[in-house]
Structure 1
Amino acid sequence: MTQTTSPPTASRAWLVDLLLLGALWGASFLFMRIGAAEFGALPTAAVRVGIAMLCLLPLMFLRGQWPAFKQHWKPALGIGVLNSGLPFAFFAFGLLTLNSGLAAVINATVPMFGALVAWGWFKDRPDGSRILGLVIGFAGVAMLAGRTAGFHSGADEGAARWAIAACLAACICYAFSANLTRKYLSGVPVMATAAGSQVGATLALALPAAWLWPAQMPSVKAWLALVAVGTACTGLAYVLFFRLIERAGPARALTVTFLVPVFALFYGAVFLGERITQWMLVCALVIVCGVALSTGLVKLGRRRVAAG
């Protein structure tokens, strides 16, 4: 009797997307910190999604996915606000106070919030191991908030707590949007979903960004940073992200947040001279352990009592 198995390259193709996506999104914290310092939070997010939209819309038409977008434009635009517009603005605000590596460590809580959303929405009740993971993950975030390691010099405790709260709000947005994508956009072509989401985010942020546009024209360095984050870290990255959801499911797609802090800490240390403290690494380890348990990637074994 012959047994057929899927080719290893096909079954694991999503791992390449996962690694590349982690590298791109890790760099996004570096570029957003540079841009937000001169543009401000909302204009940074608006320019980012606007550039991504301009990159993705022509590709959507060239690939003949306009009819798919027309059919699903409402959920695509709405999810774009939740998956791009709001979280990008929240993280840009947080990066005015936090170092890029610390913001990326907080970003690692996304799968943990995703587990909570799945619990409350899809009635995916977690077992004891996953509940313990949620407790551990939130404890790690509280540990981060309790010290000023990873904050900009001169940042006071009040500003730091608001910055951490903004980053956590972004993580909650990501968790909801991944599950909404699973429910309303499953099977929709990747380019239609990616481009549509950036259109929705751009429309939502355009007027607030225009109102808060900086009085002084930002430098060429800041513009280049936002061009990079808009094209590579958003346009290309969201094609990979939605393709990853299709290939591997939302739970596996959200595990990219394990990789993002690794790349972000490296980029921040090399290009911005950010200091990586032992406390940040300890908190990151606690958060990652919590996320691994809360998403079911790691399960605590049960002891078996041998019958005597």
Structure 2
Amino acid sequence: MSRRGWVLFLAMSVIWGVPYLLIKVAVGEMSPVVVVFARCVIGAVLLVPWTVARGQVRPALRHWRALLLFTVLEMTAPWLLLSYAEVSLSSSLTGLLVASVPFVAALAARLLGGEERLTAVRLAGMGLGVVGIAALLGLDVEGVALLPVLAVVLVVIGYGTAPLVASRALADVPGVAVSSIALVVTAVVYAPFAIPRIGQVTAAPATALTSLAALGVVCTALALVLFFALIREVGPQRALVITFVNPAVAVLAGVLLLDEPFTLGLAVGLPLVLAGCALATRRNTPTPAPESAAVP
């Protein structure tokens, strides 16, 4: 990986490890639909002027089908589901569940005709990750409702497949343009449900408002620009390796800032999930050319 790739990777690892904490704080004072709407509006206000000034809106809309699919998979569905799940799930547990995204990405790439094959090592990594998640839920299952967990599962499916759409169908569209349009579409979808509840924002305490602002500026506008740059630098599957580090950041933030317990399930599940993800997305070793085919 290039130096630029490493910088983008480390930045995204931290930036998308923080949203679980911020969402947890925000949904404690505002409904999930309001959080998603405000997040999209803040991000759109920052990115749309840039897109318009560069004349990128019309060229991007030529790919409207792929844009719509990406928007649903990456934002419209996952962000509401994630906010809903964190009403009852801890930010640490949510972050660990989302760590299974590379499993979905590897399987989706294979099913869609990706060049990399599912080797024994990658399959073993997926199995190890599943064991880690099972250990996590098995040890921390008391008081955990099924519906929030299923909501996170749908989030994982969306996050695992959206980068493939971006890299294959939107490769010629600037990332800022894709992000701007996706944010506007998602905000429009949730506006009828969020605007009647907008009073929750003005009544929210400073901590919730600060979390919402950081969620929109850093974890949405800035993060989406960097994420598209990372996809174009290293490819969709390797870009999703950030989810190896995201859970660690989420756990650390939840334990240190929200006084969430560092349970036995987290202690056992975290290393297993991270190790499984590392193996599951390991790049295949190229098959050496036969000696007889070598050029003298």
TM-score by length of 1: 0.84
Give the drift of 1:182: 1.5
- In structure 2, the partner of 1:60 is 51
The answer (yes or no) to whether the contact 1:68–1:189 under 8 Å persists in 2 is: no
- In structure 2, the partner of 1:3 is none
- In structure 1, the partner of 2:13 is 22
CA distance in 2, matches of 1:100, 1:156: 15
- In structure 2, the partner of 1:134 is 126
- In structure 2, the partner of 1:108 is 99
Identity level (%)? 29
CA distance in 2, matches of 1:213, 1:78: 28
Q: From 210, 227, 241, give the equivalent of 2:227.
A: 241
> Deviations 1:42-61 (Å, cap 9, x if unpaired)?
22222212221111101212
> Deviations 1:33-84 (Å, cap 9, x if unpaired)?
0111222222222221222111110121234423432333442233122101
> Deviations 1:177-211 (Å, cap 9, x if unpaired)?
11111221013212112212212222333234347
- In structure 1, the partner of 2:39 is 48
Whichever residue aligns with residue 44 of structure 2, its letter is M
CA shift in 2, pair 1:141/1:212, >3 Å: farther
Give the drift of 1:262: 2.0
Partner SS for 2:18: helix
- In structure 1, the partner of 2:274 is 288
Give the drift of 1:168: 1.8
1:267 equivalenced with 2:265 (yes/no): no
- In structure 2, the partner of 1:306 is none
The answer (yes or no) to whether the contact 2:135–2:268 under 8 Å persists in 1 is: no
- In structure 1, the partner of 2:181 is 196
CA distance in 2, matches of 1:146, 1:174: 24
CA distance in 2, matches of 1:191, 1:260: 23
The alignment yields a C-alpha RMSD, in angstroms, of 2.3
Structure 1 residues not aligned, in runs of 5+: 1-7, 150-154, 300-308
CA distance in 2, matches of 1:49, 1:298: 38
Task: Map residues 1-308 of structure 1 onto 2, 5 A cutoff.
Answer: 11-122=2-113, 125-148=117-140, 156-157=143-144, 159=145, 161-210=146-195, 217-297=203-283
Whichever residue aligns with residue 209 of structure 1, its letter is A
Give the drift of 1:174: 0.6
Structure 2 residues not aligned, in runs of 5+: 286-296
The answer (yes or no) to whether the contact 1:108–1:257 under 8 Å persists in 2 is: yes
Give the drift of 1:213: 6.3
Give the drift of 1:257: 0.6
The answer (yes or no) to whether the contact 2:29–2:200 under 8 Å persists in 1 is: no
CA distance in 2, matches of 1:112, 1:138: 9
Partner SS for 2:136: helix
TM-score by length of 2: 0.87
* Further displaced range: 236-245 or 196-205: 196-205
* Further displaced range: 107-116 or 202-211: 202-211
